[in-house]
């Protein structure tokens, strides 16, 4: 099995009124924005989600990330030509939806935080994210609660 090796470049980055060197792994094809070793660790799940999307395992992904990683996330999704929506969740995290353009267009119609979605929107999102269908049906019925008994069919 062959492993593709990328050159390592050392860059000087200004941090806390001083300068430090951080190794940066760069591709010969495109220059990525500089990220620290800590950011590389933080973005491991994000990178795996890109892999799953590109392999066709998922059509929509939701990941929660730090706002400090948003620039790299946007750069990477644009470079991969993957549609996305980023929603701030307070000051400490952002929700990043990415995947098929049709799924992203549906997410854009929600126009509200996840905890404010209607029962139907919550159900749709869960199904699009690939959550278990039976569990999503149970969640939906539980959210409906007494409303389901009052409907005549």
CATH number of the CATH domain containing 110: 3.30.2190.10
Q: Is the pLDDT of residue 11 over 50?
A: no
Q: Count how many domains the chain has.
A: 1
pLDDT on residue 151: 57
- Asked, for residue 98, whether it belongs to a domain, the answer is yes
* Residues 42-57 pLDDT 10s: 999 999 999 999 999 9
12 found inside a domain: no
> Which residues make Cβ contacts (< 8 Å) with residue 120, sequence separation at least 6?
140
Using DSSP's 3-state secondary structure scheme, residue 141 falls into helix
Residue 28 lies in a domain: no
The pLDDT tens digits of the residues spanning 28-39 come to: 445 667 888 999
Q: Identify whether 5 is part of a domain.
A: no
Please, what is the average pLDDT of the chain? 82
Which helix (H) or strand (E) is 37 found in, with range?
A: helix 37-42
* Cα four-point dihedral sign 34, 44, 46, 28: positive
Domain range enclosing 58 = 36-116
Asked if residue 82 is part of any domain, the answer here is: yes
The single-letter DSSP state of residue 68 is G
């Amino acid at each position: 099995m062959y492993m593709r090796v990328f050159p390592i470049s050392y860059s000087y980055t200004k941090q806390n009124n001083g300068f430090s060197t951080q190794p940066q792994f760069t591709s010969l094809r495109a220059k990525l924005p500089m990220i620290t070793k800590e950011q590389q660790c933080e973005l491991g799940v994000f990178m795996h989600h890109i892999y799953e999307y590109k392999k066709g395992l998922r059509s929509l992904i939701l990941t929660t990330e730090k706002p400090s990683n948003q620039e790299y996330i946007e750069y990477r999704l644009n470079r991969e030509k993957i549609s996305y929506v980023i929603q701030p969740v307070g000051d400490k995290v952002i929700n990043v939806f990415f995947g098929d353009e049709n799924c992203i267009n549906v997410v854009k119609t929600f126009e509200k935080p996840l905890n404010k979605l209607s029962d139907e929107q919550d159900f749709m999102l869960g199904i699009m994210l690939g959550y278990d269908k039976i569990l999503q049906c149970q969640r939906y019925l539980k959210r409906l609660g007494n409303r389901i008994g009052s409907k005549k069919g």
